[in-house]
């Protein structure tokens, strides 16, 4: 309750969605099987609901074969599975023109971005073109573009790299500064949907206006797919790259979605060999599960938990919360914080804090989070949430943090 007696939006969300959330949490065997532990590291990888575990078991015990090769029933079923997996991703992303777009399976976001940088970007860029690189985002969304530039330079094609401008206080992109630096030679812009350290929604819907109609926009959706609705009908981006394992599928899964409107067609190069068929089975089941659960409700739930944590943590002595400080509430018009809260203690190292938290059963990540060189210079503790997390876990975490503060 606030001083005026009204309930805060995050409190309303937690009350309204409580029953729904309890039913979903019960579907995660690893969570219910470890009542003394709290998994707060879903930005690294998400836990899997029983439906995904069952889909994996079903596939391996009824149809396991190679795809696109044999002609007997198990092989045909596997070939269909991979084709249906592509369609499922298009539907999950609310693709308005699925007959034109393409989906390529990868082992995760890193491999997806590298594939684009290796197989597509060099065909698109010409001498004197410029690319914008988000230098304070995840290194997976920085290194591949710099590598592509190096390889092109070795062939005599010189491409300029413009560091993405950021707003100092929030960690959001500076869309005004981006509009100023983008010119007619700005051909490719790499962006991130939700920042993996600051937890902020990066307002990527503003990028198109800043960079103009012709530039290709590539979206790293590692922290948004599976956590909130991602609609390519609404977002004017050309590529969406994500990790299936962060969206409740098996490790070693992910995909690149390509709109195929700007630039050459995206055709992954080389002979890719046997696909990760069981991974595709798990990803299809995970997307079914997420759609049934409702990504809009998952987004509301995790944002409410994050708001509960930030609202109280910022009043605890000794702690500094990273990212936007004026958007801590779930209803902030400034910048929405999703289910990630990262902080550090002014005197206790983040490594020590991570160990201490685990001694109380909390699994968090404490390091530099693979952030690019323009990011934080000091390690921090990241709490990242998913639908199986509860307000009680947040409250217990706050009690421990208060006791060391
Ligand atoms: N991009 C972002 C924003 C991430 O958070 C991560 C992983 O944490 C990655 C890329 C890399 O994902 P993966 O390790 O699944 O390739």
CATH number, residue 206: 3.40.640.10
How confident is the model over 27-38, as a mean pLDDT? 97
Note the pLDDT of residue 168. Answer: 85
User: Which of 110, 173, 242, 249 has most ligand 1 atoms within 8 Å of CB, for mutation?
Assistant: 110
Q: How confident is the model at residue 325 (pLDDT cuts 50, 70, 90)?
A: confident
Higher pLDDT, 334 or 66: 66
Same domain for 302 and 335?
yes
pLDDT (tens digit per residue) in 60-118: 999 999 998 889 999 999 999 999 999 999 999 999 999 999 999 999 999 999 999 99
Closest-CA residue, ligand 1 atom 8, reads: 44
The ligand 1 site (C-beta within 6 Å) comprises: 43, 108-110, 138, 140-141, 192, 196, 220, 222-223, 243
Give pTM, 2 decimals: 0.97
Same domain for 23 and 33?
yes
Supply 219's token pair. 């979206």
Note the pLDDT of residue 279. Answer: 98
Same domain for 254 and 388?
no
> What's the CA gap between 99 and 339, in Å, rounded?
33
Of 293, 327, 349, which residue constitutes the final position of a domain?
293
Residues 6 or more apart whose Cβ sits within 8 Å of residue 143: none
Nearest CA to 113 among 262, 200, 195, 221? 221
CATH number, residue 343: 3.90.1150.10
pLDDT (tens digit per residue) in 351-404: 999 999 999 999 999 999 999 999 999 999 999 999 999 999 999 999 999 998
Cα–ligand 1 centroid distance for 123 (angstroms):
25
Strand order in the sheet with 340-345: 319-321, 340-345, 380-384, 365-367
Supply 378's token pair. 């000091």
Cα–ligand 1 centroid distance for 43 (angstroms):
8
Q: How confident is the model at residue 2 (pLDDT cuts 50, 70, 90)?
A: very low
* DSSP-derived 3-state class of residue 95: coil
Supply 292's token pair. 């049934």
Note the pLDDT of residue 4. Answer: 45
> What's the CA gap between 26 and 327, in Å, rounded?
31
> What's the CA gap between 286 and 251, in Å, rounded?
12
Same domain for 187 and 283?
yes
Closest-CA residue, ligand 1 atom 4, reads: 222
- The whole domain housing 202 covers 53-293
Same domain for 29 and 15?
yes
User: Which residue's entry shows tokens 């987004």?
Assistant: 299
**Chain centroid, CA 383 distance in Å:** 14
**Chain centroid, CA 11 distance in Å:** 25
Note the pLDDT of residue 385. Answer: 98
């Amino acid at each position: 309750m606030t001083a005026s007696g009204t309930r805060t939006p995050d409190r309303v969300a937690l009350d309204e969605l409580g029953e729904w959330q309890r039913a979903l949490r019960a579907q995660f065997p690893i969570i219910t099987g470890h009542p003394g532990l709290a998994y707060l590291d879903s930005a690294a990888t998400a836990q899997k609901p029983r439906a995904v575990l069952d889909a994996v078991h079903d596939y391996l015990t009824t149809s396991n074969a190679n795809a696109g090769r044999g002609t007997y029933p198990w092989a045909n079923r596997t070939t269909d599975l991979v084709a249906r997996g592509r369609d499922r991703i298009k539907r999950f992303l609310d693709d308005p023109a699925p007959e034109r777009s393409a989906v390529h399976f990868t082992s995760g976001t890193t491999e997806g971005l590298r594939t684009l940088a290796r197989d597509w970007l060099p065909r698109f860029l010409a001498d004197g073109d410029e690319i914008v690189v988000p230098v304070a985002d995840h290194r997976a969304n920085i290194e591949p573009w710099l590598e592509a530039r190096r390889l092109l330079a070795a062939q005599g094609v010189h491409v300029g790299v413009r560091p993405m401008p950021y707003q100092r206080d929030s960690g959001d992109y500076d869309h005004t500064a981006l509009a100023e630096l983008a010119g007619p030679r700005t051909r490719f812009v790499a962006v991130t949907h939700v920042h993996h350290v600051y937890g902020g929604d990066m307002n990527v819907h503003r990028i198109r206006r800043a960079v103009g109609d012709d530039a290709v926009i590539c979206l790293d959706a590692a922290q948004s797919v599976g956590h909130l609705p991602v609609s390519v009908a609404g977002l004017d981006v050309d590529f969406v790259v994500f990790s299936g394992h962060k969206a409740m599928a098996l490790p070693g899964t992910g995909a690149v979605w390509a709109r195929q409107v700007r630039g050459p067609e995206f055709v992954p190069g080389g002979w890719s060999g046997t696909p990760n068929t069981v991974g595709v089975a798990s990803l299809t089941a995970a997307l079914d599960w997420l759609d049934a659960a409702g990504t809009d409700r998952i987004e509301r739930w995790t944002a409410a938990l994050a708001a509960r944590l930030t609202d109280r943590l910022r009043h605890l002595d000794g702690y500094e919360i990273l990212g936007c400080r004026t958007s801590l509430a779930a209803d902030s018009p400034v910048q929405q914080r999703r289910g990630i809260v990262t902080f550090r203690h002014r005197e206790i190292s983040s490594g020590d804090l991570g160990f201490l938290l685990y001694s109380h059963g909390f699994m968090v990540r404490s390091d530099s989070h693979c952030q690019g060189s323009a990011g934080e210079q000091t390690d921090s503790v990241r709490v990242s949430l998913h639908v199986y997390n509860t307000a009680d876990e947040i409250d217990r975490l706050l009690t421990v943090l208060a006791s060391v503060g």
